[in-house]
Amino acid sequence: MQEKSMLYSLEGKPPLSKAVPLGLQHVLAMFTGNLAPIIIVSLALGFQSEDRIYLVQAAMFIAGVVTLIQLFKLGPIGSGLPIVMGTSFTFLGAAIAMGGKYGYEAVIGACLIGGIFEMLVGTVFVRVKKFFPPIVSGIVVMGIGLTLIGVGADYFAGGAGSENYGSVQNMLLGTSVFALFILLTAFGKGMLKSSAILISLVIGYIVAAIMGIIDFTPVKEAAWFAFPAIPFKMGIAFEWEAIILFVALFLITAVETIGDTHGVTVGGLDRPATPEEVRGSLFADGLGSSLAAIFGLLPNTSFSQNVGIVALTKCVNRFTVAIGIAVLMLLSFVPKLAAVVSVMPASVLGGAVIVVFALITVTGIRMIARTNLTGRNAIILAVSLGIGFGLATAIGLHKDIFESYPEVFKFIFQDKIFATGLVAFLMNLILPKDKDEDGVRAEPFEKLDAEETA
């Protein structure tokens, strides 16, 4: 009974027979999500296999370090809660866009500055939170998902620019992974369901190996042991456009982190998170993201899927999570393992992540659905997508036509996520609130419908 109670308390050291499987469950849930953004960015930007192997190693190691800080605190940094950290998908679209324009070094610089910015936000977030209501945050998250769906589709077909793009072989392989993921998600239970992405990728990888379409040369050449984190190995540069875009996205992830912090305490401890816990989580997000940048990675933020595991199992024991994270960090010292992951065919990866990217879009829609989608909010959504997403898409397709336009115009509308988010932010500031929000009158659209009916 005492052993069991330890699992449901933050403190204590339950026996390894219970701690190991529960800890590994957290690693399985975050493993693919932690590595996929790095693999996708490295493929999109044409990194050499040596750099891809290093980044996979570093992603495992840094996620472990930042999670330990979140678990056990470093002064005011960290919540002291069982929150698992890892490489964020939120920044993927921006990383590909900015990396393609300025180089990956500019992405690293933007992540470093953005992490510091989030730590500052942690001290005053209550004051700035009002500028990012669900309608604004939801539009940005939905824009990220819509942008990434095209990336996922490209990988499904074999990866943009590949010699066999869209081949029957790639499409069948991607479809098989996609179908397996859907089956496991729809009909699986327990670990089968929670590890659906990992299982479908592993089986797809095995099938691809049997088909002979994986080049295992990097695996053969990789060493058995290497330190997984080298400061500034990927370089660093600072570009204002990238910095502004990433700072805006950090505000969105700050909202998500607050939600995850409350999710852990409500789901596992039956209480809301304290201000100190929320502040510590944001500090850990910021420090972890800047630390990740130093070692060449995208920002590290809280992982919602692991919050779901805490809510499901009620296991909030920090020692248990730390055991799983220790295994992850040990694996990061083995380049051969990282090489095995790095040579995964794009179509296998695409078969799984295309659904993940679509789910990011759905998450944004859910955030938007928390608002009253008529009147003011409907206008914000319509204008943001129409001008932000729509115009940015048009400019991207016809860059030569808009070449003579002012630099500030091109700066704003070169990236769909930034343009859409900026328009949503400004519209939220400019448009007056509908009086019905205080129960005074009906939304304009509802009033118009009533008049037309009469």
pLDDT in tens, 106-147: 999 999 999 999 888 888 766 766 777 778 877 877 877 787
Contact criterion met (CB below 8 Å) for 319 and 14: yes
Q: Are residues 139 and 211 in the same domain?
A: yes
Q: Are residues 106 and 24 in the same domain?
A: yes
pLDDT in tens, 257-299: 876 787 778 777 777 778 888 889 899 999 999 999 999 999 9
- Of 163 and 63, the structure prediction assigns the larger pLDDT to 63
Question: Whole-prediction pTM value?
Answer: 0.69
Residue 168 has what pLDDT?
82
Q: Of 331, 365, 399, which marks where a domain is finished?
A: 365
Q: Are residues 334 and 400 in the same domain?
A: no
Q: Are residues 357 and 450 in the same domain?
A: no
398 falls in which pLDDT band (50, 70, 90)? Answer: confident
Domain housing 423: 372-454
Q: Biggest alpha carbon distance in the chain?
A: 77
Q: Are residues 390 and 327 in the same domain?
A: no
Spatial separation of the C-alpha atoms in residues 154 and 92, rounded to whole Å: 15
Q: Are residues 88 and 146 in the same domain?
A: yes
- Of 58 and 36, the structure prediction assigns the larger pLDDT to 58
Residue 9 has what pLDDT?
66
Indicate the number of domains in the chain. 2
Q: Are residues 353 and 383 in the same domain?
A: no
Q: What is the DSSP string of 54-106?
A: HHHHHHHHHHHHHHHHHHH-BTTBS-SS---EEE-STTHHHHHHHHHHH-HHH
